[in-house]
Structure 1
């Protein structure tokens, strides 16, 4: 017995309804014939050449990714452009492509929830509450036992897959931390949220110079969190196994695999 791409898409909608995605987001079914059979589902964070090649080489019938391939508007899918080349390769291989992005971020075991659980945080709640109970952007919680900023950063280095940029920290190594706010993926838009300002540290990715500098200066002057900046890809990769577990439950006749290819865009760093 096999499943179809239509059934896979329905399972994705059940787990992470696209109607709850951010307005700017473009999750959902991107490539594929809904009546095609699906025996093997492969999961990855990014729809890039390496993960598409991997899915096809594995004989996967569908690739479920976190980041939408067509997030920003395009005017061509010609094969001399990488998005067109990927779409063409997927169609020729009869491999469907589905994205679950902000609609997967907000659930209890979404990207932020999984990272919070791996850190052992308790008394969790979203930084920004969603439309449904228990959903929302980011998470804030408390460590089971007080720690220091340095030890927390070391814990993240053990939890997250290694990347060239590693873990960047703004704050004192021995500063005490207990209340933790975090957001998987790019989260500097949440720096001004009250629960983030009340936290001892805020963990996220893609912190830009000006928002990080302003947050640091405000923390020195009055109050505010220390900052930990981690790889965007690494912070969201942890979610894939949780997603795979759900898909195995809903689609028991399909093989579900998780890519371990590092699609963080940075290859090496030179420290000074």
Structure 2
């Protein structure tokens, strides 16, 4: 019989809690370690629709990348979103485990899954920790060079579609071979992408001023910006594989819920030529 504790042990072996940032809240947040597990659901976010899916499928364990209780709370009443989630999980007998920045830093981790989805062969972390084999982000290469325009299409085709979409900054004809990636919000590492000498940096949640300042630097890598949820979604299959290897008799499913924050989007017109008047 596989228990919640067994599943947690397998996940923490793959994503050691010691790799988590000191502000993070990882590990088992809800549930009894001694309870048996026959079904597991893996998702990016512990949002209501994901919890509904876990309950509907009879999962005794929900594994997510983002923690439910990342910031301190003073109570969990059912009238509050976090409290409602906790009560829903407990009533259904569904444990909740999260691997967040420890999964970002682990080898393999979130950025390895993103790189693999894009066809990038990983060489090393972008921001190494400890002995240099773990850390946030990854640097790698494509099998053959291609233009930024083609690479941006590659990214869009590889990741689940979102209202945010995929957008790029830089010369569309720039040749791309060396790539840096970081799943989740990554503009704090723009300086590392520049120092690494890569051709493009793929991440999420890029803000206007850091992006424009970066692109103004001579020789700076091009940028590809994707939705936060989409950049981390490939990790779900990786975490599911970790559990499948440790507990082959447990039924493991990746959530079908699309938990990107944005629900609507409209493509704008092509940017006008410099000096053009738009009426």
Give TM-score, length-normalised by structure 2: 0.92
Query: Residue 123 and residue 160 in structure 1: after superposition, are their counterparts in 2 closer, same or farther (change >3 A)?
Result: closer
Q: Provide the C-alpha distance between the structure 2 equivalents of 1:12 and 1:109, rounded to a whole number of angstroms.
A: 12
- Cα distance, 1:164 vs structure 2: 0.7
State the partner residue of 1:262.
258
Q: Provide the C-alpha distance between the structure 1 equivalents of 2:193 and 2:138, rounded to a whole number of angstroms.
A: 13
Query: Residue 121 and residue 252 in structure 1: after superposition, are their counterparts in 2 closer, same or farther (change >3 A)?
Result: same
- Cα distance, 1:136 vs structure 2: 1.2
State the partner residue of 2:179.
180
Write out per-residue CA displacement over residues 20-63 of structure 1, whole angstroms, 9 at most, x where no aligned residue.
11111111000001111111111000000000000000000010
- Point out 4+ residue stretches in structure 1 off by more than 6 angstroms: none
Q: Provide the C-alpha distance between the structure 2 equivalents of 1:215 and 1:65, rounded to a whole number of angstroms.
A: 32
- Cα distance, 1:134 vs structure 2: 2.1
Q: Provide the C-alpha distance between the structure 1 equivalents of 2:73 and 2:122, rounded to a whole number of angstroms.
A: 43
- Cα distance, 1:196 vs structure 2: 5.0
Map 1:5-24 onto structure 2 (within 5 A): 5-24=4-23
What RMSD over aligned residues (CA atoms) do the two structures have, in Å? 1.4
State the partner residue of 2:272.
none
* Gap runs ≥5 in structure 1: none
> Does the CA-based 8 Å contact 1:184-1:205 persist in structure 2?
yes
Determine if the alignment matches structure 1 residue 67 to structure 2 residue 66: yes
State the partner residue of 2:225.
229
Give TM-score, length-normalised by structure 1: 0.94
Q: Provide the C-alpha distance between the structure 1 equivalents of 2:28 and 2:195, rounded to a whole number of angstroms.
A: 34
> Does the CA-based 8 Å contact 1:107-1:135 persist in structure 2?
yes
Write out per-residue CA displacement over residues 185-224 of structure 1, whole angstroms, 9 at most, x where no aligned residue.
1111101116555111110000112211211222xxx221
Determine if the alignment matches structure 1 residue 120 to structure 2 residue 119: yes
* Gap runs ≥5 in structure 2: 269-279
State the partner residue of 1:207.
206
Query: Residue 114 and residue 86 in structure 1: after superposition, are their counterparts in 2 closer, same or farther (change >3 A)?
Result: same
